[in-house]
Amino acid sequence: GWRRLRVQTFARGSPVRFPDFTIYFRAIVMIASKPSIFVAPLLGAIVFLALQELGVYTTGQIGFLGLSVFQWIGGIFLLYAFAVTIIQADGIERGIRGGFDAAWEEARRKAGGIILAAIGLWFLLAIADDIGMLLGSSVLALILEIVAGFFLIYVMPAAGIGGLPGTLAISGSMRAVRNDPVCAAILAIAFVVLFKTAPSIIAGDLQQHFALSYV
């Protein structure tokens, strides 16, 4: 659960624990009782999509490189928003505070470490994807992203909840994965499927169904 992702969870030598699958059921109750938990992810998604569209319309002359810069900035903000959501959920789970304002303020205090962790996470995921695509295999790219996601799945909780900045959040994630590999594997697969694969498929289907285009 969220409590296990506090700073002591990332300490070296933490004992191996059985995955707490009840967190998924508690998450449904949490979202129903605190709909403000959607504020940060929606804000992050809006900014990401807006920057992506801006990149499409303003960087045609320099092609993919310009679009990638906008996507990179949007991705960093999206991960920052994800950290805000994690902080808010942790507060609700521990019964301390559950408001968006409190979570945003805590994330603002940790902004430097969270942004550095987000940059590292986004960069490593992009490297995994690029290696697969350079080898000419989208399947390999997906597998490499899952592998990278497996080791890095706790980076944002480590930065947001644990307060570990940058590379410390990455090493903290790896220690947490070593202590709980089964749960990490489930989260990594869910992360890649829900945030990388499913959106592209849904967007493609909607574009085809409604005959959408950028023209």
Question: What is each CA distance from 94 to 5, 20, 51, 90, 135, in whole angstroms?
Answer: 12, 15, 35, 6, 46
Tell me the pTM. Answer: 0.76
Q: What is the DSSP letter of 36?
A: G
Cβ atoms of 88 and 105 within 8 Å: the answer is no
Would you give per-residue pLDDT tens digits along the chain (215 residues)? 434 444 444 444 444 455 566 777 777 888 888 888 888 888 888 888 788 777 777 665 555 555 577 778 888 888 899 899 999 988 888 877 668 888 899 999 999 999 999 998 888 888 888 888 888 887 888 788 888 888 988 999 999 988 887 788 988 889 888 888 888 888 877 777 776 666 566 656 655 666 655 44
| Other Cβ atoms closer than 10 A to 101 | 11
**Considering only CA atoms, which of 83, 56, 85 is closest in space to residue 71?**
56
